[in-house]
Amino acid sequence: MDLTFSKNAVQVFSQWFGRRENVTGTVKDDIRRPPYPCVKINALPSSSPEEQGIESGRILDYYARLSREPLIKMQSVIIVRNGHIISRGHFYPYSTDIWHVSHSLAKSLTGLAVGLLYDDGLISLDDKLIDFFADNLPPTARINFRNTTVRHLLTMQTGVIFNEAGAVIEQDWVKAYLESGVKFRAGTQFEYNSMNTYMLSAIVRKVSGKGTLELLKERVLGPMGIEHIYWEKCPKGIEKGGWGIYYFPDDMLKLGILYLNGGLWNGERLISEKWIKESTKKQVGHPAETGIYDYGYQVWCKEDRSTFIFNGMFGQNLIVFPRTNIIISTNASIDETFQNSPLYTITERYFGTPYRPRGHLKEDPEALARLRETEKNLVMENSDIFTHKNGIDCYSLKELNGDYAVAPEDGAGLSILPELYQAVHNCFAEGLKEFSLVLDKNGGYITTTEGSTSHRIAFGYGKAVPGCVVYGKESILTSSYAVVTDEGGEKKLRVTVCFPELPNIRYITIGKDGDGISVKWEEAPGFDFLKLLIDRTVFIKLIPEKMAKPTDSDFFLKRLRYFLQPTVKMRRHNKEHI
């Protein structure tokens, strides 16, 4: 595996980071998620915050603090107490009514599936990893993983080298994992690695004969009325385990209540109280760079048991405060690797220890009315829709209208889809060939020709327009708006393409350049996130030395900016739109 892996890694990452040619994928992955199901979810009951002992003004202050935070880009927040939704906050142009990708929040559901098998007596936490795959075990695995157990997988203590980047390169993930080397003896250190959770998912299938999602639907999700959930699978048809769930926030809140109730749902036991307690208590200490939470069984938690979190990168969370029966669901777009974002410290400050809500408060109609109005009109102050609200005369830049050609060496890898989305979902774009812009008095649209396919993004002037793009077999929702920016006295059009199902955002800034245009491509999460990831993981080892030397920080940062923030000059095809 190591030689093949290295060869494929050099190929993929040279193409991806080099931006001189399109990425030639080494993994055939035709399994793509279905389009967003336009359905109404059975939500939890609602009440006023005061009825559940929390002041409406406190929630208003919480939203105001989040809105001002320059390091986060919130999408939605739902707050629950005592099983009732007391606030549902929508940050423009997002909604809580659309399903959303989980990223690593999915790990907690894989842990739940393992708990079902544990309760059934089908597995022990001391069972050896290699015993589950003894029928087709690489010789080196008997040495490298001889002491690795289910417990080590659950607590991220395996020391395996095969990591998330390998999922983009390898066709058979179980085989690649078992052929991999290890960096330390199992059980001696904590190192977060999503492929550990994938192996748990593979074990669930091996032991139960069912996929992880099928088992959960049968035993937990079905009885709770959770129907509309999708889990991406690896090329071999096994749920990815560590990531890849698309879920409705209201449904995830139900799982939070299940955990708060010690495994009971409407009086019916779905999982043992013992498993809930063990999962949400500290099993291993956290490294300093991951934030303030320790690790249980696929759940982040505080040692004093005041908080536990189902956490996915970029701000996808279910944050649970057991002592006060408060659960908070968040979706966001944050440059973070773990819980090292102000989102967590702010949320702890407002709802964590030592806050103690009361049982019931006198209703405050005026504050409640302000809260309900604010919930529908939240705007991040670091967004273009807020900072450029007085500079939205986009039609004044109609001279930019036209069809433009992109040189092959400049268009490689460029797409409406952000680069980080392409990498995580193994959905590499065909490269930008042509670019078109049309502005009229009522709005505008961008058309990109990527390979043999064209994608159109419609946008409003300071107002988002919903849409959809199709890449391969996958339909992806969009919501896009444009503003006029002033960069050094030069006015430019800046289009923000939001993806309501995803944390990713694409920014496209267009300015005049002679008879053509220059177009800057940016994304969030983007530069800051990738820099953190490279600093803190072995990901740097996958980048060919000829492209980046870790000791040459200035060169590497320039290369990283060139990769994630390229500016491309385009020549005009014709002037028929002017």
Domains located in the chain, CATH noted: 42-98+248-382 (3.40.710.10), 100-246 (3.40.710.10), 384-526+562-574 (2.40.128.20)
> What mean pLDDT do residues 321-336 have?
96
> What mean pLDDT do residues 410-435 have?
88
pLDDT reading at 536 higher than 60: no
Which residues are within 8 A (CB) of 211 and not within 5 positions of it... i.e. 6 or more apart? 204, 205, 231, 233, 237, 238, 239
What per-residue confidence (pLDDT) applies to 253? Answer: 98
Q: Distance between CA atoms of 165 and 542, rounded to whole angstroms?
A: 8
- Report CA 411 to chain centroid distance, whole Å: 26
What per-residue confidence (pLDDT) applies to 554? Answer: 66
DSSP state of 217: I
> What mean pLDDT do residues 173-178 have?
96
Q: How many CB atoms lie within 10 A of CB 282?
A: 18
Q: Distance between CA atoms of 60 and 73, rounded to whole angstroms?
A: 17
pTM of the model: 0.94
What per-residue confidence (pLDDT) applies to 430? Answer: 86
In this structure, what is the dihedral angle of CA atoms 61, 64, 69, 72, given to the nearest 10 degrees?
100
> What mean pLDDT do residues 507-529 have?
93
Q: How many CB atoms lie within 10 A of CB 496?
A: 23
What per-residue confidence (pLDDT) applies to 540? Answer: 45
Task: Report angle CA 55, 56, 60 to the nearest 5 degrees.
Answer: 120
Task: Report angle CA 495, 497, 503 to the nearest 5 degrees.
Answer: 140
Structure tokens at 85: 């939704």
What per-residue confidence (pLDDT) applies to 29? Answer: 65
What per-residue confidence (pLDDT) applies to 548? Answer: 46
User: Which region among 95-99, 317-321, 353-357, 573-577 has the lowest average model confidence (pLDDT)?
Assistant: 573-577
pLDDT reading at 559 higher than 90: no
> What mean pLDDT do residues 504-510 have?
97
How does pLDDT run across 203-232, given as a tens digit for each residue? 999 999 999 999 999 999 999 999 999 999
DSSP string computed for 119-181:
HTTS--TT-BHHHHTGGG--TTHHHHTTT-BHHHHHTT---BS--GGGGGT-S-HHHHHHHS-
Q: How many CB atoms lie within 10 A of CB 561?
A: 14
Task: Identify the residue with better confidence: 409 or 174.
Answer: 174
SS (H, E, C) 45-99: CECCCHHHCCCHHHHHHHHHHHHHCCCCCEEEEEEEECCEEEEEEEECCCCCCCC
Residue labelled with tokens 């959905």: 427
Task: Identify the residue with better confidence: 360 or 1.
Answer: 360
- Report CA 296 to chain centroid distance, whole Å: 21
What per-residue confidence (pLDDT) applies to 539? Answer: 45
Length of the chain in terms of residues written: 578
Q: Distance between CA atoms of 280 and 289, rounded to whole angstroms?
A: 20
- Inter-helix orientation angle 106-119/194-208, to 10°: 40
What per-residue confidence (pLDDT) applies to 412? Answer: 85
> What mean pLDDT do residues 307-330 have?
97
Residue labelled with tokens 């829709």: 385
Q: Distance between CA atoms of 524 and 526, rounded to whole angstroms?
A: 5
Query: Contact 541/498 with Cβ under 8 angstroms?
Result: no
> What mean pLDDT do residues 262-280 have?
98
Task: Report angle CA 565, 495, 491 to the nearest 5 degrees.
Answer: 85
pLDDT reading at 94 higher than 70: yes
What per-residue confidence (pLDDT) applies to 236? Answer: 93
Give the gyration radius of the chain's Cα atoms: 24
Q: What three-state secondary structure class fits 251?
A: helix
Strands 474-487 and 453-461: parallel
Mean pLDDT score across all residues of the chain: 90
What per-residue confidence (pLDDT) applies to 136? Answer: 84
What per-residue confidence (pLDDT) applies to 12? Answer: 66
Q: What are phi and psi of 410, to 5 degrees?
A: -90, -25
Q: Distance between CA atoms of 266 and 288, rounded to whole angstroms?
A: 39
User: Which region among 180-194, 331-345, 457-471, 529-543 has the lowest average model confidence (pLDDT)?
Assistant: 529-543
What per-residue confidence (pLDDT) applies to 528? Answer: 84
What per-residue confidence (pLDDT) applies to 169? Answer: 83
> What mean pLDDT do residues 489-503 have?
96
Q: Distance between CA atoms of 343 and 519, rounded to whole angstroms?
A: 32
Strands 567-574 and 516-524: antiparallel
pLDDT reading at 543 higher than 50: no
> What mean pLDDT do residues 44-65 have?
97
> What mean pLDDT do residues 401-407 have?
95
How does pLDDT run across 112-167, given as a tens digit for each residue? 999 999 999 999 999 999 999 999 899 999 999 999 999 999 999 999 999 888 88
Looking at the chain, the whole-number percentage of residues with pLDDT higher than 90 is 74
Which range of 30-44, 55-69, 286-300 scores highest in mean pLDDT? It is 55-69
pLDDT reading at 575 higher than 60: no
> What mean pLDDT do residues 486-496 have?
91
Q: Distance between CA atoms of 578 and 573, rounded to whole angstroms?
A: 12
